[in-house]
Amino acid sequence: MRVPLSWLREYVDLPATETGRDVQAKLVAVGLEVETVEQIGAGLTGPLVVGQVLTIEELEGFKKPIRFCTVDVGTANGTGEPQEIVCGARNFAVGDKVVVVLPGAVLPGDFAIAARKTYGKTSHGMICSTDELGMGDDGTHGIIVLPPEHEAGTDAIELLELVDEVLDIAVTPDRGYCLSMRGVARETAIAYGLPLRDPALLDVPAPNAYGYPVKVSDPIGCSRFTARTVVGLQPEARTPIWMQRRLQKAGMRPISLAVDVTNYVMLELGQPLHAYDRTRIDGPIGVRRAEQGEKLTTLDGAVRVLDAGDLVITDNRGPIGLAGVMGGADTEIADAAEGAHTAEVVIEAAHFDAISIARTARRHKLPSEASKRFERGVDPQAAAAAAQRTVDLLVLLAGGTAEAGVTEVSAPSAPRTITMPADHPDQVAGVTYGRETVVRRLQEVGCDVYGQDELLVTTPSWRPDLNEPNDLAEEVIRLEGYENLPSTLPTPPSGRGLTDRQRLHRRVGRALAGAGYVEALNYPFIGEAVLDQLGLEADDARRRTVKLVNPLSDEEPSLRTTLLPGLLGALRRNDGRGSHDLALFETGLVFLPTGQETEPVRLPVDRRPSDEEIASLDAALPRQPRRAAVVLAGAREQAGWWGKGRPADWADSVEAARTIAREAGVEVAVRADRHAPWHPGRCAALYVTVAGEETLFGHAGELHPRVVKELHLPERTCAMEVDLDVLEQTVDGVLRAPRISTFPVATQDVALVVGQDVPAADVERALRDGAGELLESLRLFDVFTGEQIGEGRKSLAYALRFRAADRTLTVDEASAARDTAVALAAERTGAVLRGA
C-alpha cells in the first residue's frame, strides 16, 4: 500500500515538522512494515509553470515531426513576453494549457534546463510530459494538457503536487484494513496519540424499496450488497488534478472520472467498488455461483471460462462481472477520450467471502486491487459509506444527480465478542500492563470493552483477524511496543545433546560434502507434470501425494514423495547458468500418505496438549521418512597437470550410497534393477542388512534418456536416492570403531572371466563369502573385454586384502583363502580364473 504523506495529513493532524522517515519509524513501532519512503520530486526546482500555447509552427525537413511554439507563461520568465519552445509532441493544440519548465530549472534525475539551439531554432525551455516530471503513467504518454481554468504563470509544482513523500507499506494478510488510507490513518493516530478524522463517518440514507433491483442467491458468498444510482453525468467532466495525482502516487493510473472516483474511494476507505453503465445492464443485478463452463469477457479483454466455485454478478443475459475480482466488458463505463459517454451509473459496494474471492483470483490467475483487499478481509459495515462517498464525488465532480433509491441486501449478522481475563496480555507477554492499559489499547483499535477482571470485548467490523484472546493480547503488546518486552534466555536442560538419529544425519551430510557434493535445499512441493516427466507408472506409489489446500503455486500443489525433482531442477538451473560440472545433494523429508490418516484435531494453546491429543494429531499426518539424494553431471574429476579427468557415471552414484552407508558402519549390497526414472540397464538396487535380512535401501544409477530429455538435463546425468530411516535401523546401539591389526596385510589379486550378463556384485559377494574372516577388504580395480577373453565374456580383476588379528599370515594361508573364494565364485557364477 502506497501512502502519500500529504493525503495522510487529511485524517491526522501530524506535526508540520514530521517527515516521512519520522512517520515510518512510528508505524514500524506499532507493527506495520514500512519498506521504503519515496521522495517524490526530490531535486526538482523551478521555474515550472502553467503556460498557454499561442502559436504552433510546423518545422519541415527533419526525420520526425517538429513544432516551434510560442507559449504565454505570464510573468514567470521575468519579461512577460511569449516563450519560444521547440517540441516534438503532437497531442496539444493552440489555446491548450500546458506545463512549461523554464531555463534555470532542474527536473528529477538532475536534468538541468537551459536555452539551447536545436532544429535551427533556439528553445527557451521545454513543454513537459508526465514522464519528465516523474508523475507516473497517465495513459497518454504525451504532453500534460491542463484544464482551461488555470491561469498562465501559475506555479505548476504546487498545482500538480510534484513534491511529496510516499510510504510503501507491505501489508500482511492479517492486516487487510491497512490497504486503505483510513486504516493507515488509524494506526498513525494511535502511534502519535492524536485524534482520527474517520472518512467513513458519513450521513447515509436508509435503504428503501425503489433502489436498483438486486437479488443475492448466495448469501454466504455475498453477505452485503449496496447499490446506488447516479444520473446526468456531464460528458465534459474530467478527473480533477488533485485526484489524479493521489491515484498516481498510490500506484494507480487515472482512466476516466467515474472509474477514478471508485478507485479513489477504494484507496480511501478500503472498500472495493464497481461502477456499471446502467444503460448496458439488462434487468436486475444478481449474485450467484457460476455454472460450470459459463464464459465471461472481463475488462482486460480476456474470455474467462468460469468454474462452479466462482461467484459472479449477473443480469438477465448472464454473468457481467467476476465478483470481487474484475468487472465484465459488457457493462464497462465508456471512455470519454474515445468519443463515448456514460451518463448513468449504478454503483456496487458489496462484501464478498474472502476465501471464495481468493480462490477465484488464483484459479483465473487474475490478481486485482479488489481481490487483494477482499481476500484479506474488508469492513462489511463500510459498504454503505463507500457507496455514499462515491455518489457525493460524482455529484460534485461530474454534475450528476443522485437518485433517491437505495438498495441494500444483507444477511443477518452479529458483532463478534470475545471473553478475556483482564490480565491475559500480562500472562502472554510476561509484563504487567494493568487493566487500564489493556482497555485503553483495545479501545484505540476500535473495540468496545466491558467488565472488570473478566473483559467482554466486541471487536470492530474492520478487524476480522481478531477472533480469540491471544489476538487481543497481541494488539496490546504491539501498541505498547515489542521493544519493551524483556529478553529472557531460557535455561536448557543439562546432559542432553543430539540424538543418535540427528548425529547420523549430520554425519551423512558431512560425508557427502567431504566427497565433493554441494548441498542444495529445495522446496518440498511437486506437481503431476514432473512425475510424468520422471516416467513413473500410473500405479507407482510415488504418485500418491498429499495435496495442499492452499498451495504456493497451482503448478506444484502437492508435497514431494521423492527428493529428485527438486535436485534435478537445481541441477538444470545451474547447468543453464554455465556451471556444467555438478554434484549436488540434499537430505530431507518426503511425505507418503498411507490412506489411513484421520481428521486432525485443533490443539489448545492455553495448556499443554494431552498425550491422546498429540497422538491423534500424529495419526492425521502422512508417513514422513527422511531421504538422502545426490545428482551428478559433467566431470567428476577435473583434467589438469595431474592427469586426465573423467566424467561422472553411474558408479559414482553407487559410491555415494556406499559413502552414506559407511557412516552407519554397514555394507551396501548392489543388485541390477529396473526402476524409474533410471536407465533400465544402468540402475542399481541398494540393499542393507536390517535384523539379519536384506532390506531395500534405495536406488542409484544413470537416468533414463527420456527423462533427461524431458527435464532438459545434461547427457548421462546420474542420481541416487536412499532412505535414511532404513539406514538408521541398521545401527545397533553405539557405533563401534573397527579394530586395527598391528600385523601386516597380505594382498592377492585375481582375474575372473564371467559371462557378460553376470553382475560384478554377484561375483564380489561370492568372493567375500568364500574368503572367510581373514578377508579385510575387496576392490574391483579392472574390467576388461576383448578377443583374448572371448565374445560375450568379460574379465573382472579384484584386489583381495587378507589380515589376521593375532598373527602374520603365511603365503599358504592367504593363497588358501583366495583359492576358496575363487572356487565359490566359480560355483555360483561360473567364473573361471583368467589364464587357467
Rg, C-alpha atoms of the chain: 38
SS3 state of residue 225: strand
Helix, strand counts (H, E) of the chain? 21, 42
SS3 state of residue 684: strand
Tens digit of each residue's pLDDT (9 = 90 or more) over 490-543: 787 777 778 888 999 999 999 999 999 999 999 999 999 999 999 999 999 999
- Tell me the β-bridge partners of 646: 637
Quote the pLDDT of residue 338: 63
**Quick check: 67 and 49 in contact, CB under 8 A?**
no
**Quick check: 211 and 405 in contact, CB under 8 A?**
yes
Quote the pLDDT of residue 734: 66
Neighbours of 497 (CB within 10 A): 6
Q: How far is CA 320 from CA 191, 283, 287, in A?
A: 43, 12, 10
Average pLDDT over residues 332-356: 85
> Three-class SS string for 161-216?
CCCEEEEEEECCHHHHHHCCHHHHHHHHHHHHCCCCCCCCCCCCCCCCCCCCCEEE
Q: How far is CA 139 from CA 99, 130, 131, 143, 255, in A?
A: 17, 10, 11, 11, 7
Return d(Cα 147, Cα 144) in angstroms, integer.
10
Average pLDDT over residues 111-118: 89
Give the H/E segment covering residue 123.
strand 121-123
Instruction: Please report which confidence band the pLDDT of residue 660 belongs to, taking 50, 70 and 90 as the band edges.
Output: very high
257-269 vs 181-192: helix crossing angle, rounded to 10: 30
| pLDDT over threshold 80, residue 22 | yes
Average pLDDT over residues 740-752: 90
Average pLDDT over residues 700-718: 96
Return d(Cα 381, Cα 169) in angstroms, integer.
24
Tens digit of each residue's pLDDT (9 = 90 or more) over 715-737: 999 999 999 999 999 877 666 67
Q: How far is CA 373 from CA 267, 442, 464, 810, in A?
A: 10, 24, 12, 86
| pLDDT over threshold 80, residue 451 | yes
Cβ partners under 8 Å of residue 773, min gap 6? none
Q: Could you tell me which residue, 407 or 835, shows the higher pLDDT?
A: 407
Residues in the chain: 836
Tens digit of each residue's pLDDT (9 = 90 or more) over 299-338: 988 999 999 999 999 999 999 999 999 999 888 888 765 6
**Strands 775-784 and 693-703: what pairing?**
unpaired
SS3 state of residue 418: strand
Tens digit of each residue's pLDDT (9 = 90 or more) over 246-281: 999 999 988 889 999 999 999 999 999 999 999 999
The closest of 88, 92, 175 to 378, measured between CA atoms, is: 175
Quote the pLDDT of residue 718: 97
What single letter denotes the amino acid at residue 116?
A: R
Quote the pLDDT of residue 760: 85
Quote the pLDDT of residue 177: 93
Signed CA dihedral, 630, 636, 638, 642: sign only: positive
The closest of 679, 715, 728 to 700, measured between CA atoms, is: 679
In DSSP notation, 422-465 reads TTHHHHHHTS---HHHHHHHHHHTT-EEE-SSEEEEEPPTT-TT
Quote the pLDDT of residue 137: 67
> Three-class SS string for 283-345?
CCEEEEECCCCCEEEECCCCEEECCCCCEEEEECCEEEEECCCEEEHHHCCCCHHHCCCCCCE
Indicate the DSSP class of residue 548: P
Return d(Cα 477, Cα 436) in angstroms, integer.
14
Instruction: Please report which confidence band the pLDDT of residue 834 belongs to, taking 50, 70 and 90 as the band edges.
Output: confident
Quote the pLDDT of residue 685: 94
Instruction: Please report which confidence band the pLDDT of residue 340 belongs to, taking 50, 70 and 90 as the band edges.
Output: confident
The closest of 228, 265, 207 to 386, measured between CA atoms, is: 265
| pLDDT over threshold 70, residue 4 | yes
What single letter denotes the amino acid at residue 269?
A: L
In the numeric block, the cell 510534484 is attached to 162
| pLDDT over threshold 90, residue 413 | no
The closest of 775, 764, 765, 779 to 805, measured between CA atoms, is: 775
Quote the pLDDT of residue 247: 93
- Tell me the β-bridge partners of 546: none
| pLDDT over threshold 70, residue 120 | yes
**Residues 195-226 as b or e (16 or more Cβ within 10 Å = b):** ebeebbeeebeeeeeebbebebebeebbbbbb
Signed CA dihedral, 385, 386, 387, 391: sign only: positive
Return d(Cα 314, Cα 303) in angstroms, integer.
16
Return d(Cα 818, Cα 821) in angstroms, integer.
5
Return d(Cα 772, Cα 780) in angstroms, integer.
18
650-662 vs 500-514: helix crossing angle, rounded to 10: 140
Quote the pLDDT of residue 558: 95
**552: its cell numbers:** 504456493
Cβ partners under 8 Å of residue 237, min gap 6? 257, 397, 398, 399
Instruction: Please report which confidence band the pLDDT of residue 138 belongs to, taking 50, 70 and 90 as the band edges.
Output: low
| pLDDT over threshold 90, residue 741 | no
Indicate the DSSP class of residue 586: E
Q: Give the whole-number percent of the chain exceeding pLDDT 70.
A: 98
Q: In what order do the strands lie in the sheet with 746-755?
A: 775-784, 793-802, 746-755, 832-833
